[in-house]
């Protein structure tokens, strides 16, 4: 396990998060509701400068995100409630409970922006 406390100024992890969709295919039906996990990871990385499970190697982190109930990350204290809610929706384990991209576009955080 690679450990670092430094912000990771790269999109290497963000691009790798697209692989979550591939891992989820083996567990879930092929549905647009798989996609929000990748979006949630990207939002977390943008807010924290570190991806979920940043202390793990990329493939281990991706596997954990794809298979666990909720990834591990710590958001800044000034993160809006709307953003926190949006993230909780994107990381729902059951694909049927996750919003589609269309649902997310209507979410208050997206429509109104951060408050």
For the chain, the structural domain boundaries read 12-112
pLDDT of residue 97: 86
For residue range 7-29, what is the model confidence (pLDDT) as tens digits?
554 545 554 555 555 555 444 45
Fold of 12-112: Transferase(Phosphotransferase); domain 1 (1.10.510)
pLDDT of residue 47: 93
Report the percentage of the chain scoring pLDDT > 70. 68
Separation between Cα atoms, residue 80 and residue 64, nearest integer Å? 25
Q: Is 59 exposed, middle or buried (0-12, 13-18, 19+ CB in 10 A)?
A: exposed
For residues 25 and 90, the answer to whether their CB atoms sit within 8 Å is no
Average pLDDT over the chain, rounded to an integer:
76
Name the DSSP class of 33.
G
For residue 78, the tally of other CB atoms under 10 A from its CB is: 8
For residues 90 and 37, the answer to whether their CB atoms sit within 8 Å is yes
Q: What is the dihedral of CA 108, 42, 40, 58, to 10 degrees?
A: -170
For residue range 81-113, what is the model confidence (pLDDT) as tens digits?
999 999 999 988 887 888 888 899 999 999 987
For residues 40 and 88, the answer to whether their CB atoms sit within 8 Å is no
pTM of the model: 0.72
Max distance between CA atoms of the chain, in angstroms, equals: 39
Angle at 115 between CA 80 and CA 48, to 5 degrees: 40
């Amino acid at each position: 396990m690679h450990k670092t406390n430094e912000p990771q100024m790269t999109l290497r992890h963000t691009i790798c998060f697209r692989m979550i969709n591939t891992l989820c295919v083996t567990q879930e039906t092929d549905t647009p509701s798989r996609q929000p996990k990748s979006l949630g990871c990207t939002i977390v990385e943008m807010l924290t400068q570190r991806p979920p499970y940043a202390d793990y190697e990329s493939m281990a982190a991706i596997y954990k995100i794809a298979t666990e109930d909720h990834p591990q990350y710590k958001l800044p204290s000034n993160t809006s409630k709307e953003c926190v809610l949006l993230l909780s929706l994107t990381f729902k384990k059951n694909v049927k409970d996750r919003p589609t991209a269309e649902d997310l576009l209507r979410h208050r955080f997206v429509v109104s922006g951060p408050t």
